[in-house]
A = this chain, B = another copy of it.
Amino acid sequence: MEPYELTASEASKLIAERKLSCEELVRSTLKRIEEREPTIRAWTYLDPQRAIRQARELDKQPAKSPLHGLTFGVKDMIDTADMPTSHNSPVYFEHRPGKDAACVSVVRHSGALILGKTDTVEFASGGRKAATRNPWNLAHTPGGSSSGSGAAVADRMVQLAFGTQTGGSHIRPASFNGIYGIKPTHGAISREGAKMYSHTLDTVGWYGRSVADLQLVAEAFRLVGHDTAAPVDVKGLKVGLCRSPVWRKSEPAGRAALAAAAKRLEAAGAIVIELELPAPFGELNAAQETIMQGEGRAAFLPEYLAYRHLLHQDFVDKVEGAHGITPEALIAAYDLAADCRRTFDGLFGKELDVILTPAAPGEAPEGLHTTGDWAFNAMWTLLHVPCVGIPVGLGSQGLPVGIQIVGPRFSDAALLRIADACAPVIDLGGTIPHVESEEEAVAA
């Protein structure tokens, strides 16, 4: 087994035991990139020589944390002091922000090795798409806007990577690429230094190839409960199977993945109950869109004033208010979201431990002109709740499909414990059994 094939947590253990050096890990990872990057096109910036020098430095130092020496990719709309941050926009071509974003700073000072920047949708928002291809089928999108991060982790070109989610930019690519991802509770980690799109929605998350990988990073961020959350047993776990108010948008592969996850959990002793969210939750996707477009108006005003000719029309439309979002609509969306957040937290307790719900409609669509539909993510982003994406297996086209589990606000560490227990049950790989009907798909 080559070092690049190790998960972050496997490599962390070997580095701590001095059985693997940071230099060996990064050299192996860089070799993998050299082979695969011309095909996958996940990276917008790499400096292999610098990475090797950094790895050597790390080998001289005592480990600062379990992230010591692990390779990290950074979505190219998150600032890095030593690499350009281009936002997939000609406005910021080769731009050097001069300072690490908060999330980059935290993992860097925990010993992680920032390997490079990964391609994204223009400003992680709209307009230009990433050049990145889905490692499972090059004709398909890896999803977006965390396109490069998702594909790079899936293709074992890096062990961990940051993404962000405003609509469904983080958990959807996790599903499309067959990897693990967490979108934490909004505000649980600082979003400073990630390009602003919507201050109410933008959330930094990360990808790994196991739940343990995700936990390593959660520890570096000192997420509430990371050191106290108790291990979980699937037996007796109360799982709410939530088709979500946009179930009509699911595709056969997405339905099959949800059904398979539910059946596998039930077979392992979980108590799977069908959960229908109260009616107002049906309006949350529209509210998410209102807030995203409404807040995008102020977010992109600086670029509009200075470089309008370099912006995709999407951004001109946002700033000029082409979406027609009124202050009244924005306020109504804020207030609805606040109500639903409280209601949502109240669902958990005696009757419910965790929610199981689709991560994407189905397999990644064909073509790089699209990044797929974020309908199954928008609501959770607006609810500010933590979501963990877990792979289930392959759809009929041979592309991965995952599900996500969701908990109440600030239960991130506990949710990762649940994920840790559920993942071995859910993530069986192989082709997901076909589902005949909607009834079968949702029967617990």
Contact A341 B345 (CB under 8 A): no
Given contacts A102-B302, A301-B102, A335-B342, are A330 and B410 in contact (CB under 8 A)?
Answer: yes
Bound-state Cα–Cα, A191 to B298, Å: 9
Given contacts A342-B335, A410-B327, are A190 and B105 in contact (CB under 8 A)?
Answer: no
Task: Report which of B97, B110, B187, B409 forms a contact with A298, defined as CB distance below 8 A.
Answer: B187
Which B residues are CB-close (under 8 A) to A305? 105-106, 109-110
Residue of B nearest to A110 (CB): B305
Bound-state Cα–Cα, A100 to B302, Å: 9
Contact A299 B190 (CB under 8 A): yes
Q: How far does the Cβ of A227 sit from chain B's closest Cβ, in whole Å?
A: 12
Residue of B nearest to A81 (CB): B98
Which B residues are CB-close (under 8 A) to A431? none
Bound-state Cα–Cα, A305 to B102, Å: 11
Asked if A196 is at the interface (CB within 8 A of a chain B CB), the reply is yes
Contact A345 B327 (CB under 8 A): no
Which B residues are CB-close (under 8 A) to A56? none
Given contacts A99-B98, A305-B109, are A200 and B222 in contact (CB under 8 A)?
Answer: no
Task: Report which of B190, B195, B334 forms a contact with A196, defined as CB distance below 8 A.
Answer: B190
Q: Most chain-B Cβ atoms within 10 A of its Cβ — which of A100, A192, A338?
A: A192
Contact A410 B331 (CB under 8 A): yes
Which B residues are CB-close (under 8 A) to A302? 100, 102, 105-106, 109, 190
Which B residues are CB-close (under 8 A) to A97? 97-99
User: How many residues of A sit at the interface, in one of the four size bands?
Assistant: 35 or more
Asked if A122 is at the interface (CB within 8 A of a chain B CB), the reply is no
Which B residues are CB-close (under 8 A) to A301? 102, 106, 189-190, 221-222
Which B residues are CB-close (under 8 A) to A410? 327, 330-331
Which B residues are CB-close (under 8 A) to A295? 187
Asked if A199 is at the interface (CB within 8 A of a chain B CB), the reply is yes
Q: Most chain-B Cβ atoms within 10 A of its Cβ — which of A200, A298, A299?
A: A298
Asked if A16 is at the interface (CB within 8 A of a chain B CB), the reply is no
Residue of B nearest to A411 (CB): B327
| Binary contact readout A293-309 vs B (1 if CB under 8 angstroms, 0 otherwise) | 00100110110011000
Task: Report which of B95, B191, B192, B327 forms a contact with A99, defined as CB distance below 8 A.
Answer: B95
Asked if A96 is at the interface (CB within 8 A of a chain B CB), the reply is yes
Bound-state Cα–Cα, A48 to B103, Å: 36
Asked if A46 is at the interface (CB within 8 A of a chain B CB), the reply is no
Given contacts A298-B187, A334-B341, A335-B341, are A105 and B327 in contact (CB under 8 A)?
Answer: no
Task: Report which of B105, B195, B298 forms a contact with A188, defined as CB distance below 8 A.
Answer: B298
Bound-state Cα–Cα, A106 to B306, Å: 8
Instruction: Name 5 interchain pairs, CB-CB below 8 A, sorted by A.
Output: A106-B302, A106-B305, A109-B305, A199-B199, A224-B327
